[in-house]
Amino acid sequence: MNANRRPISVLVIACLYLAVNLAGIISHFRGLLAGEQGSAWAEGTEFVGLICGVFLLLGHNWARWLAVAWILFHVILSAMHSWGEAVMHGLFCVGITWILFRSESSRFFRGVGEESI
């Protein structure tokens, strides 16, 4: 496989990050305008997730680490709500980590160069 060619699995994860976080930004925006407590934090985390998606598409190595940290953060947050949410986010975390750190994905992220770390 060509090192510059993006694996389909990385494309899917990046698009999921873009879609989920764009939807989150839109859904939390009213609360931000209304000054609801916690809305700024919600918007901030959604923005970080959006950044992950963009830079995963571009093949930046640091973006896959940030994407895993982002979903791990959500595992911790969801554990405060319910165990069911925590388990679901935990499964997403395992799957995303596995996809982003497979050898095929690692070759793609190496293609941008070490200056992106």
Q: What is the pLDDT of residues 42-93, one digit of tens each?
A: 889 999 999 999 999 999 999 999 999 999 999 999 999 899 999 999 999 9
Is the separation of the CB atoms in 56 and 67 below 8 Å?
A: yes
- Per residue in 9-45, pLDDT (tens digit) is 999 999 999 999 999 999 888 887 888 888 888 889 9
Neighbours of 20 (CB within 10 A): 14
In a domain, 2, yes or no: no
Q: What is the pLDDT of residue 2?
A: 44
Question: Number of structural domains, the chain?
Answer: 1
In a domain, 1, yes or no: no
Cα end-to-end span (Å), the chain: 22
Residue 64 lies in domain: 8-116
Instruction: List b or e across 34-43, with b for residues whose CB sees 16 or more CB atoms inside 10 angstroms.
Output: eeeeebeebb
Q: What is the pLDDT of residue 101?
A: 96
In a domain, 3, yes or no: no
pTM: 0.84
